[in-house]
Amino acid sequence: MRKFENYDLISRNSNLKQDFKLSEGLERKLIKLSYQTVLTFLKNVFPLFDNETSCEECTDKFIKLFSVAKKQNLISRGGVPEKNYLLLSMTAQLLNPTLYVESGFFKGSSIHAVSQSKKLRRIIGFDPKHTNYRAILPKHLNVSLFKSDFADYDFNEEDLSLSLLYFDDHINTAERIIQASDKGFKNLIFDDSCGLMGTVERKFPSMPSLFFIENIENFSKNDEILWSKQGKKKLNFFNLFDINIKRKKSYLSFKFDEASISLCREAKNRILSITKMPDLNDFIKTNNLTTNDVTQHFVVLK
């Protein structure tokens, strides 16, 4: 705004020809700040949380890991956005699980994000399609990737005492909570299990989501949500430009009935706490822009 230009501290120089760049050392300062944010979050979730990983160690590992992830093309459409990659990396390094389980790994970007946790020894992943998977993981890890469903796997031979379970499969969250509880998991992260806007922005939402489970006593039989979603396909030409092609619009709905309400109540009874995880957009530039609500939630089961 020209009339305020005397107060404008931004340099506007068209000769710089730089889309985005941080001066040397600034990236590290921002990552260190994100560490403090995630540490504070975990201390709120777990009042007795005992941190074993220093800020310097987490920062070093993330910067190296993030560089590798970009070279493996994991930070792109179909993978987790940069801010969520940072969040998962910091969370896993601080929690230090020995076992990491993921349902819906697709490219493997979120698996890659947790792969440098120093106590991690075992990774188990579930996804019906493996054709998009591209993550290259440290060789010391015992990795098993299945096309079967999480619900069908017998975890009796696995040590779940220091485990972290991540759901990014966009299906019935209530069912997943009950299944995870029955199998003995305690610490869960849910991606894309949001409230109204996070639901109707998607063709494949996680319904009933955590929001509706947490507030199930406020909903009644025959309460219904109807929405539409315009299909589209993105074509890239020579890595120079994208063209979006519109596809047929889909019309979707979800109606509460006695069965879904009962399922939500059962899931809610298994939950000790639900907490929104911090949005780290202040600390890292996210290029994979989306209008979708990509809030992640940390769930602790009883």
Mean pLDDT of 61-75: 94
Cite the beta strand spans of the chain per DSSP E.
99-103, 122-126, 142-146, 163-167, 187-191, 224-237, 241-255, 271-276, 296-301
Domains in the chain, number: 1
Query: Regarding predicted confidence, which is higher, 292 or 243?
Result: 292
Q: Which of 59, 63, 118, 113 is nearest to 84 (CA)?
A: 113
- On the 0-12 / 13-18 / 19+ scale of CB atoms within 10 A, 115 is buried
How open is the CA angle 297-137-163, to the nearest 5 degrees?
Answer: 40
Q: How confident is the model at residue 25 (pLDDT cuts 50, 70, 90)?
A: very high
Q: Which amino acid is present at 202?
A: R
55 CB-contact burial (10 Å; exposed 0-12 / middle 13-18 / buried 19+)? middle
For residue 7, being part of any structural domain is answered with no
Q: Is residue 209 one of the residues assigned to a domain? A: yes
The reply to whether 8 falls in a domain is no
Q: What is the dihedral of CA 75, 298, 284, 30, to 10 degrees?
A: -140
| Residue 4 domain flag | no
Domain that holds residue 190: 24-301
Residue 212: other Cβ atoms inside 10 A: 27
Cα–Cα–Cα angle for 280, 172, 92, rounded to 5 degrees: 35
**pTM over the 0.85 mark:** yes
Give per-residue pLDDT as tens, 157-173: 999 999 999 999 989 99
15 assigned to some structural domain: no
pLDDT level of residue 6 (50, 70, 90 thresholds) = confident
Contacts of 257 (CB under 8 A, 6+ apart): 221, 222
Classify the C-alpha dihedral 160-166-171-175 as positive or negative: positive
Q: Of all helices (H) and strands (E), which one includes residue 84? A: helix 82-95
**Does residue 172 lie within any of the structural domains?**
yes
Any domain includes 80: yes
Band of the pLDDT at 245, cuts 50, 70, 90?
A: low
Buried/exposed 61-74: b ≥16 CB within 10 Å, e otherwise:
bbeebbeebeebeb
The model's pLDDT over 273-287, given as tens digits with 9 standing for 90+, comes to: 999 999 999 999 988
Mean pLDDT for 92-111 is 97
Examine residue 259 and state whether it is found in any structural domain, yes or no. yes
pLDDT single digits (tens) 109-153:
999 999 999 999 999 999 999 999 999 999 999 999 999 999 999
> Nearest CA to 288 among 30, 116, 115, 107?
107
The larger pLDDT score, comparing residue 110 to residue 250, is at 110
**Which CATH number is 36's domain given?**
3.40.50.150
Residue 2: pLDDT over 70: no
Contacts 24+ apart (CB under 8 A), 241-244: none
